[in-house]
């Protein structure tokens, strides 16, 4: 009995320490966003500013066209997420239910591409986008990222949990593959699809390198790229940088807290059967 209590105390202590370590950078970011410039590097550092500088957020809006950047980030995130869901649903269904020659080998190669670092494909993607004339366009920002190997793997594993007998019965009743997919598989896969959408939304919203590479006009820049406005050779405006970062991550925090239960539900129900 004492051993069980000690174990629980130890586990909860570790969890609390982990939570504090995780949330500390966010609290410091929020605190810095409200400090005067002179207090950013004050030693010893203070968590709370001596005076809350709410006008830091107003200055951010004056320095960058934040409404335009919000529109760009929203459009790109929506396009990438919708495109990823479409390609993922079709690919996962093909790899899980449709039997064709070499399916397992192709899927193994497909999964093998996950070991390739994303930075390796930046140059080939840029050359392709440049040849297509998609520099500084939404097409160039969206289309290259509308396929996700991890998403296909995750949804395929979820599809495999649907009984094969259900698929065969539907085929006997004259149901086409496409109809079975949209009438049966998609509705029962809601947790996995929401998980995929949420992860893609967060990744797309926070994407920095790709928009930086293929855009060279302010009108097409996204919110993460806008953070560069507050850095220069003369120094960094850390109080404004943290204010801008707070504005950027707030929508993602809200979305995550609203939909977080689907992440655990989607992953735990999909990753068991191989």
Task: Please give the Cα distance from 28 to 34 (Å, whole number).
Answer: 10
Angle, CA of 115, 227 and 238, to the nearest 5°: 115
Q: CATH assignment of 64-268?
A: 1.10.3720.10
Do 83 and 143 meet the contact criterion of CB atoms below 8 Å apart?
Answer: yes
Do 122 and 140 meet the contact criterion of CB atoms below 8 Å apart?
Answer: no
| Closest CA relative to residue 129, chosen from 213, 218, 220 | 213
**DSSP 3-state assignment of 116?**
coil
The pLDDT assigned to 3 comes to 65
- The residues, any chain, with a CB within 8 Å of residue 231's CB and separated by 6 or more, are 237, 241
The pLDDT assigned to 84 comes to 93
Per-residue pLDDT of 223-260, as tens digits, reads 888 887 777 655 677 778 888 888 888 888 888 777 77
Per-residue pLDDT of 132-190, as tens digits, reads 989 999 999 999 999 888 889 888 888 888 787 877 787 777 778 788 888 888 888 88
- Report, in angstroms and rounded to the nearest whole number, the Rg of the chain calculated over CA atoms: 23
Per-residue pLDDT of 189-222, as tens digits, reads 888 888 888 889 988 998 888 898 898 888 888 8
- How confident is residue 266, by pLDDT bands cut at 50, 70 and 90? low
pTM, entire model: 0.81
């Amino acid at each position: 009995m004492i051993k069980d209590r000690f174990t629980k105390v130890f586990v909860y202590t570790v969890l609390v320490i982990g939570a504090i370590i995780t949330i500390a950078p966010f609290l410091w970011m929020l605190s810095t966003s409200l400090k005067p410039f002179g207090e950013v590097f004050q030693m010893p550092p203070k968590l709370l500013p001596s005076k809350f500088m709410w006008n830091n957020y107003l200055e951010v809006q004056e320095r960058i066209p934040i409404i335009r950047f919000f529109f760009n980030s929203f459009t790109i995130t929506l396009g990438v997420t919708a495109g990823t869901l479409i390609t993922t649903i079709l690919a996962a269904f093909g790899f899980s239910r449709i039997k064709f020659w070499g399916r397992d080998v192709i899927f193994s190669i497909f999964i093998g591409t996950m070991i390739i670092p994303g930075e390796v494909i930046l140059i080939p993607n840029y050359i392709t986008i440049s040849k297509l004339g998609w520099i500084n366009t939404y097409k160039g920002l969206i289309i290259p990222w509308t396929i996700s190997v991890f998403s296909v793997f995750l949804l395929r594993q979820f599809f495999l949990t649907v009984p094969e007998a259900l698929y065969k019965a539907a085929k006997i009743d004259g149901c086409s593959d496409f109809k079975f997919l949209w009438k049966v598989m998609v509705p029962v896969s809601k947790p996995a699809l929401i998980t995929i959408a949420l992860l893609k939304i967060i990744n797309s919203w926070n994407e920095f390198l790709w928009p930086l590479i293929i855009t060279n006009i302010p009108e097409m820049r996204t919110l993460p790229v806008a953070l560069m406005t507050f850095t220069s050779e003369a120094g960094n405006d850390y109080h404004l940088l943290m204010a801008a970062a707070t504005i950027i991550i707030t929508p993602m925090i809200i979305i995550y807290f609203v939909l977080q239960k689907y992440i655990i539900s989607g992953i735990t129900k999909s990753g068991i059967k191989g």
